């Protein structure tokens, strides 16, 4: 038999001792690699833990620096800080969008009640562009302050399924309300919206999740919050200045045109008369009412004019007891004074004259409601 010619190393079989040494060497290499991997994993774990502690520390710092999640010098920050300083003075707080900010005067409301022998102090926490998620966060903030005398929250009812405008991307206010709970709430509503395509739902979800990441990381807040917490001024309001939170709209600057009114009245007449409330929104409103009442505060929901819609879904929420109290002023036939040209600033807001009329009507309805409860 002809043996194939092989090099000497390949022809010679390893001895038992050599094989054992090789196995031990391999075991040693694996052990060293495992130790190195474990060390790298521990380092990453320590890094992530330190990062989480940093996020938490900035979050607590923001809690100490009232209003730091709002843009520097803005109305929102002024209101948050003013309310923090005077929270124990108010028995009633109005919360909502620019319809609250520009159409509800605490001074007129308080004076109206005092004239009828029922003095009550109030504050306007309305903010321009506030939709339901931010409304929910603002109410939680007010309750967390534990105002000693607060008895009522008058809440403008806002929709949950509002699209986030690109103009508001990554502002402090928008990032602030993207807590995990509120982001989940918005996403649940978003994915239940049949009119949106899968692509559109995915795109909007990505935007909300991006804001959630900013919120969790507290990006851009550490230095402003630290400066404010250490005594540097963070508000445009002097300590001794009185402020009721409202901003009237000058009738001289009104932009509404008389020619638009027939179109708006027609829009109201043509609006749906039967609409079921959204289940996600309904369930969250039930939870919101329970949370408010847990603080011995009574919620009063309001549809503030001009709306130019019937809003049957909101009326159904009141009929079913989801909204314990609803003051609805959306019908032009029932409330013509809030839909006249001389009292309108634009298609969505009353002017200063309309503000006085609406606040007086709101005060009168509040007194009638309070008397019926007693």
Q: Which one of 59-68, 72-81, 232-241, 333-342 scores highest in mean pLDDT?
A: 333-342
User: Is 327 within the bounds of a domain?
Assistant: yes
Can you tell me the distance from the alpha carbon of 195 to that of 181, in angstroms, rounded to the nearest whole number? 24
Among 19-23, 177-181, 214-218, 297-301, the least confident range: 19-23
Residue 179's SS3 state is coil
On the question of a cis peptide bond just before residue 140, with omega within 30 degrees of 0, the verdict is no
Task: Give CA–CA dist 214/178, Å, rounded.
Answer: 9
Residue 230: C-alpha distances to residues 64, 85, 320 (Å): 10, 17, 49
| Counts of helices then strands in the chain (DSSP H, E) | 14, 5
Q: What's the CATH code of the domain at 99?
A: 3.40.50.1110
Asked if the model's pLDDT at residue 221 lies above 80, the reply is no
DSSP designation for 248: P
326 closest CA partner among 308, 304, 342, 348: 304
The answer to whether the beta carbons of residues 350 and 358 sit under 8 Å apart is yes
Domain count, the chain: 1
> How many residues appear in the chain?
374
Distance in angstroms (rounded) separating the CA atoms of residues 374 and 366: 13
Return the minimum-mean-pLDDT range out of 28-32, 126-130, 152-156.
28-32
Look at residue 225 and tell me if it is in a domain: no
Q: Is the pLDDT of residue 166 over 90?
A: no
Any domain includes 284: yes
| Residue 171, in any domain of the structure | no
Q: Could you give the dihedral angle defined by the CA atoms of residues 282, 246, 337 and 368, in that order, rounded to the nearest 10 degrees? A: 60
Q: Which domain holds residue 92?
A: 73-159+242-373
Nearest to 134 by CA among 57, 56, 211, 248: 211
CA distance 152 to 106: 13
Instruction: Please give the backbone phi and psi of residue 45, each rounded to the nearest 5 degrees, phi first.
Output: -65, -40
Rg (CA), the chain: 30
* Residue 3: pLDDT band with limits 50, 70, 90: very low
pLDDT digits (tens, 9 = 90+) for 331-365: 999 999 999 999 999 999 999 999 999 999 999 99
Residue 173 lies in a domain: no
Sorted by sequence, the CB contacts under 8 Å of residue 207 that are 6+ apart come out as: 164, 169
Can you give the pTM of this predicted structure? 0.80
> Coil, strand, or helix at residue 173?
helix
Show Cβ contacts of residue 282 under 8 Å, excluding neighbours closer than 6 positions.
317, 322
Contact 188, 127 (CB under 8 A): no
User: What does DSSP assign to residue 350?
Assistant: B
**pLDDT, position 164:** 87
- Give the model's pLDDT for residue 9: 45
Which helix (H) or strand (E) segment is 167 a member of? none
CA distance linking residue 39 with residue 33, whole number of Å: 10
d(Cα 258, Cα 265) in Å, to the nearest integer?
12
Is there a domain that residue 52 lies in?
A: no
Residue 288 lies in a domain: yes
């Amino acid at each position: 038999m002809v043996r194939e010619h092989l090099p000497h190393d390949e022809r010679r079989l390893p001895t038992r001792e050599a094989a054992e040494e090789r196995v031990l060497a391999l075991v040693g290499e694996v052990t060293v690699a495992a130790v190195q991997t474990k060390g790298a994993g521990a380092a990453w774990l320590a890094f992530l833990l330190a990062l989480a502690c940093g996020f938490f520390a900035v979050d607590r710092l923001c809690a100490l620096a009232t209003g730091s999640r709002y843009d520097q010098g803005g109305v929102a920050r002024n209101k948050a800080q003013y309310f923090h300083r005077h929270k124990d003075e108010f028995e009633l707080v109005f919360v909502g969008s620019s319809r609250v900010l520009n159409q509800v005067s605490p001074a007129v409301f308080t004076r109206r009640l005092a004239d009828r022998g029922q003095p009550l102090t109030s504050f306007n926490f309305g903010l321009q562009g506030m939709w339901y998620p931010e409304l929910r966060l603002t109410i939680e903030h007010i309750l967390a302050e534990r105002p000693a005398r607060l008895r009522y929250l008058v809440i403008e009812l806002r929709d949950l399924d509002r699209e986030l405008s690109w103009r508001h991307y990554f502002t402090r206010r928008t990032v602030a309300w993207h807590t995990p709970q509120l982001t989940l709430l918005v996403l649940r509503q978003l994915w239940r919206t049949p009119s949106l395509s899968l692509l559109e739902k995915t795109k909007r979800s990505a935007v909300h999740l991006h804001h959630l990441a900013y919120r969790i990381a507290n990006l851009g807040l550490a230095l402003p919050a630290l400066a404010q917490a250490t005594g540097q001024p963070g508000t445009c309001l002097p300590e001794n200045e009185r402020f009721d939170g409202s901003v009237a709209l000058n009738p001289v600057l009104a932009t509404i045109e008389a020619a638009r009114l027939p179109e708006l009245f027609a829009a109201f007449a043509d609006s749906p008369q039967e609409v079921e409330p959204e289940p996600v929104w309904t369930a969250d409103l039930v939870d919101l009412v329970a949370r408010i009442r847990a603080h011995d505060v009574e919620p009063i929901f309001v549809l503030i004019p001009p709306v130019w819609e019937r809003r049957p879904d909101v009326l159904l929420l009141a009929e079913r007891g989801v909204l314990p109290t609803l003051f609805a002023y959306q019908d032009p036939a029932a409330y013509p004074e809030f839909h006249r040209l001389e009292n309108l600033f634009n298609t969505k807001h009353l002017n200063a004259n309309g503000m006085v009329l609406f606040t007086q009507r709101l005060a009168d309805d509040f007194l009638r409601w309070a008397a019926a409860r007693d």
